[in-house]
Amino acid sequence: MMGEAKPLAGRHALVTGGGRGIGAAIARQLLSLGAAVTITGRDKGRLEGAAAAMGCHAVAMDVTDASAIQNGFALAAQAQGPITILVNNAGIAKAAPFAKTDLSLWDDILRTDLTGAFLSTQAALPQMLESGWGRVVNVASTAGLTGLAYCAAYCAAKHGLIGLTRALAVELASKPVTVNAVCPGYTETDIVEETISNIVAKTGRSREEALAGLVASNPQKRLIKPEEVAEAVAWLCLPGSSSITGQSIAVAGGELM
């Protein structure tokens, strides 16, 4: 990163789903830039272990529970000051043919990947406006920019998250708060490992063949690293990124151009 070594000093960042994968990489990057960081997640044991390893604050919280979000954000603010950076990273991904996508699966994905971001942003935004500065970064997906077979619910949620990003960015354009989305392609995370395992189990392909199928649409022919996503998120949080709002940035090796 260019500029001063700790450009986010004095800022409090909250990262949902921050106990592993992309969320943990984002938390580490924001810490390195001087922010005080709170990570949240449903698995209290994993969350507290990750927080201890990184040296940040942790609040166990389910983003599908509106009251839990209000309580969790209040605890985070009490411990580390007003939340002025919110990274809506918590999400789940489940694949199924459209005909086999039942209402329970649909609701589960939309509650976690879209409504969770809506509720979290509503909880943090008053603190940003009162502080006179804020950054909201939604971790969407290339599935929010294009269609993927067998992922109707996930695509719908991520497209909705990008719609929320754009609408709120316009609404807040006259305020010192920006709202953006980062859209990773297939990334080296537990979720992608589970996807590869499912492909192997259902098709009989080798792991290498399954992986090659996933990265076929990426001109670089590789998985994205969580740290690459974290760098993009952190850039959007910098003071110098104040003119960047309403954008959906693909971190995907050229998958979408």
6: in domain: no
Q: Is 133 contained in some domain?
A: yes
Q: Give per-residue pLDDT as tens, 112-165.
A: 999 999 999 999 999 999 999 999 999 999 999 999 999 999 999 999 999 999
What is the pLDDT confidence band of residue 69, given thresholds at 50, 70 and 90? very high
Q: What is the CATH number of the domain that holds 124?
A: 3.40.50.720
Q: Is residue 3 pLDDT above 60, yes or no?
A: no
* Domain co-membership, 119 together with 161: yes
Q: The whole model's pTM is what? A: 0.93
Q: Please give the full DSSP string across 180-214, using - where no structure is assigned.
A: EEEEE-SBSSHHHHHHHHHHHHHH---HHHHHHHH
Query: Catalytic residue at 154?
Result: yes
Provide the mean pLDDT of the chain: 95
Among the listed residues 73, 154, 186, 235, the single catalytic one is: 154
Residue 241 confidence (pLDDT) above 90: yes
Instruction: Give burial (CB, 10 Å; 0-12/13-18/19+) of 77.
Output: middle
Contact residues for 143 (Cβ-Cβ < 8 A; gap 6+): 151, 154, 155, 158, 159
Beta strands 248-251 and 177-184: pairing type? parallel
Question: 85 and 151, same structural domain?
Answer: yes
Q: Which tokens belong to 9?
A: 């000093």
**3 domain residue, yes or no:** no
Task: Give just the sign of the alpha carbon dihedral 122, 164, 28, 36.
Answer: negative
225 vs 99: CA distance, rounded Å = 33
What is residue 4's predicted lDDT score, i.e. its pLDDT? 62
On whether residue 257 sits in a domain, the answer given is no
- Would you say residue 118 lies in a domain? yes
For the stretch 166-200, pLDDT in tens is 999 999 999 999 999 999 998 988 888 888 888 88
103 pLDDT more than 90: yes
Instruction: Measure the CA angle with vertex 31, ends 116 and 78; round to 5°.
Output: 60
The confidence score (pLDDT) of residue 195 equals: 83
Q: What is the pLDDT of residues 78-96, one digit of tens each?
A: 999 999 999 999 999 999 9
Total structural domains in the chain? 2
Domain assignment of residue 214, given as a range: 189-223
Let me know if 190 is exposed, middle or buried by CB neighbors in 10 A (0-12, 13-18, 19+).
exposed
Together in a domain, 119 and 207: no
Place of tokens 């998985």: 223
Q: Do 32 and 120 have their domain in common?
A: yes
Are both 95 and 195 inside the same structural domain? Answer: no
The answer on 207 and 112 residing in a single domain is no
**Residue at 254 is within a domain:** no
